[in-house]
Amino acid sequence: MKKKPHQPTGPDRAEKERARTVPPPPRRPRDRILVALDVQTLKEADDLVDRLHDVVGGFKVGHQLFTAHGPKAIHHIRGKAGRIFLDLKYHDIPATVAKSACEAARLGVWMMTVHAAGGREMMMRCKEAAFEYAVAHRTPPPIIVAVTVLTSLTQLELIRDLGVSRNLDEQVRHLANLAQGSGLDGVVASPNEIRLIRESCGPQFVIVSPGIRPAGSESHDQKRTAEPARALSDGADYLVIGRPITGALDPAAAAEAILSSIEKHGGRALQETRRP
Ligand code: C5P
């Protein structure tokens, strides 16, 4: 009897490759803005999503909302929120982070975070676990980005409190290279470090920037900030913006004002720096 051709039981190579590729960021500035839902109740989150889902590209669920409501916070806004970015900044032993990444993939989030300071093995195992889940379930894997140095920290705190003797820029570059070498898709970094990360990690590496402050707005606890247009023209793929939008009386109007400022100052630069 003629032998049947081999039928691969697992996902084939092309599918694995597809799952590995991170799509380039959207061209329109509004689709690159991710609003941080740093609120206490599902109702507040819901309200912000209702007001902003037509204006911005996605929403970030972080420690506050997730600690208060767990996966319900994701299920609640899924459907109308578009892209959901789960920002829990995992930093634990590799096995624990890998299992958590698998659960994040099960939740169907579009992007998630770990701390680069968790080390190479933690990041590799995390990426592998989320990727394997996605391939096995034929869903897109979450984009995994590593936090380099929090935007609320200064050079002085890095040396004095954390005992890191490197210059802040060098520490960010070092952690970005480590994240890239560990197979992660990108990093979270302050707008001040976007250029150096682009230079070091190339055009395909995803850069997400919090610490975004429109001209004249309050910086709150953020120390390394920049205006939205500058962050985009420097090469950020996505901007995370919280209080300048969510704390406004009219969040949609605040987001539109930010978009106008981007159009005015950075529209052309953004197109020039778009990843191929
Ligand atoms: O309100 P604001 O615009 O400062 O919010 C920034 C958001 O980005 C917060 O949700 C914060 O947790 C997050 N973030 C940050 N710095 C990092 C990583 C995440 O500010 N390095």
* Minimum CA distance residue for ligand 1 atom 5: 242
DSSP 170-202: HHHHHHHHHHHHTT-SEEE--GGGHHHHHHHH-
pLDDT number for residue 13: 60
Q: What proportion of the chain, given as a percentage, has pLDDT over 90?
A: 82
pLDDT number for residue 23: 87
Q: In total, how many domains does the chain have?
A: 1
- 4 classed as catalytic: no
Tell whether ligand 1 has an atom less than 6 A from the beta carbon of residue 38: yes
Residue 41's domain is classified under what CATH number? 3.20.20.70
Question: How many angstroms separate the CA atoms of 161 and 121, rounded?
Answer: 25
Asked if residue 168 belongs to a domain, the reply is yes
Q: What is the pTM of this model?
A: 0.91
Give per-residue pLDDT as tens, 11-47.
Answer: 456 555 555 678 899 999 999 999 999 999 999 999 9
Task: Quote the domain boundaries for residue 196.
Answer: 26-273
DSSP 6-29: P--SS--HHHHHHHHPPPPPPSSG
Asked if residue 229 belongs to a domain, the reply is yes
Asked if residue 100 belongs to a domain, the reply is yes
Asked if residue 11 belongs to a domain, the reply is no
From 2, 60, 80, 89, the catalytic residue: 89
Question: How many angstroms separate the CA atoms of 276 and 132, rounded?
Answer: 27
CB 229 within 8 A of CB 265: yes
Asked if residue 13 belongs to a domain, the reply is no
Asked if residue 108 belongs to a domain, the reply is yes
Give per-residue pLDDT as tens, 57-73.
Answer: 999 999 999 999 999 99
What the block records as the tokens of 32 is 């690159």
Asked if residue 6 belongs to a domain, the reply is no
Q: Please give the average per-residue pLDDT across 221-236, as a whole number.
A: 92
Asked if residue 9 belongs to a domain, the reply is no
Q: Please give the average per-residue pLDDT across 184-203, as a whole number.
A: 96
Question: Above 50 in pLDDT, residue 6?
Answer: no
Q: Please give the average per-residue pLDDT across 89-104, as a whole number.
A: 98
